[in-house]
Amino acid sequence: MSTTGPQPPEPIPGARLLFSLDPGVAQLNHGSYGAVPIGVQRVQQRLRDETEANPMRFFNLGLMDRIVHARRHLAGFLGADPEGTALVPNATAGAAIVLQSLRLGPGDEVLCTDHGYGSVALSIDREVRRTGAVRRTLTVPLHATDEEVVEIVRAGLRPGRTKLLVVDHITSSTARLFPASAITATARERDVPVLVDAAHTPGMLPISVDTIGADFWVGNFHKWGFAPRGTAALVVAPRWRRRIEPLAVSWQQDAGFPLSVEWQGTLDYSAWLAAPVGVFTLRTLGVERVRAHNAQLAAYGQWVVGQALGVAPADLPDPGGPMVSMRLLPLPAGLATTFPDAMTLRQRIAEELGVDVAINAWDDRGWLRLSGQIYNRAEEYQRLADGLPALLARQR
């Protein structure tokens, strides 16, 4: 085993003080639920206080204009057309909106990969049950190159029958960066619409949504963009905007996309209105500085925990890009091979080691996913490395 590997980055001064996280827990799973800076929390709370002080005034005087303003700010950060962008609660909701708007029928198919997010797959399954369409899943090896991924997708497309290709930008289960632009270009050549599930992209990676060329793109701001939970953006290409239908009809239905999707009556809109403060926080810290820090820290964490588990450096999964802030580790064979077992192991690690991580079952094997964020420190990954081997040995 190698004794030298990636080194942790220098901590960003004061970064930990920006968050209200429990200092007794090593929270190495930012990718699942994110963490909201205290300043953003306070802005959201002031918005909630404003709502409760006079609900009639809050909802009836200028709220839609405030939503549009927040949307324009967030769309600008993404390099997306604000008129083709709608704020939605999360990437799964955005995917569901797209699926129900396609008007699938018998014989149609939705194509995805085996790296796709579970709830999106469930949403696809619900829609094909309703319509008589089918879901087809492409197998993509974990270590496939970008060229191999594109070729697998190209070979799997069935022009005329494939009504939607769903592809992740950064996969959740496997922490893998997919070549979204190249995949989209390949599908466009065959006139197959593409939905890019970019749940982890905003804030983690540089992005210009409009240059990707996808028909549909959805990404969360509440993971790596420091926004309150419940903030995501659905971006729709011009030719599809008139066909988009919200999951529930409300008073802006006749306004069309995006207001018909955004306006859902008495929702708590405070997360959306506070989200630009999350982006401001990221920019104040330095977007590239944060991205580089997080990616370097995740790489260090993968290496130090991999050493403890006896995983050779050459066998550590490559995320597919230097700026990915999540890393994957294989667990010993036979552990966490099902979703319930993965959840049980995750909870045991949290309770016994005081460390939060993601555990996923994928391709009949258990995998541990680590994140790197500015509130993390090298010693937290070392804590996991020190305690995990004995904990796993007890599970066999």
Tens of pLDDT, residues 43-65 = 999 999 999 999 999 999 999 99
Q: Phi first, then psi: what are they for 161, rounded to 5°?
A: -105, -40
Q: Is the pLDDT of residue 251 over 70?
A: yes
Of the options 3.50.50.60, 3.40.190.10, 3.40.50.150, 3.90.1150.10, the CATH number for the domain spanning 16-33+287-395: 3.90.1150.10
Strand blocks (E) in 123-211? 134-138, 162-168, 194-197
Top-level class of domain 40-281: alpha beta
Tell me where in the chain the CATH 3.40.640.10 domain(s) lie.
40-281
Tokens of 232: 């995501």
Tell me where in the chain the CATH 3.90.1150.10 domain(s) lie.
16-33+287-395
Q: What is the pLDDT of residues 377-394, one digit of tens each?
A: 999 999 999 999 999 999
pLDDT for 11 equals 97
pLDDT for 49 equals 98
281 touches 40 (CB < 8 A): yes
Half-sphere exposure (Cβ direction) of 155: Cα atoms closer than 13 Å: 11
Cβ neighbours for 41, distance < 8 A, ≥ 6 positions apart:
20, 228
Place 395 in a pLDDT band, splitting at 50, 70 and 90: confident
Average pLDDT for 91-107: 97
Q: Is the pLDDT of residue 2 over 70?
A: no
Distances (CA, A) of 341 to 28, 75, 353: 20, 39, 18
Q: What is the pLDDT of residues 315-333, one digit of tens each?
A: 999 999 999 999 999 999 9
Q: Is the pLDDT of residue 137 over 90?
A: yes
Average pLDDT for 192-196: 98
pLDDT for 4 equals 81
Average pLDDT for 225-239: 98
Q: Phi first, then psi: what are they for 158, rounded to 5°?
A: -125, 85
Q: What is the pLDDT of residues 298-317, one digit of tens each?
A: 999 999 999 999 999 999 99
Q: Is the pLDDT of residue 1 over 70?
A: no
pLDDT for 3 equals 60
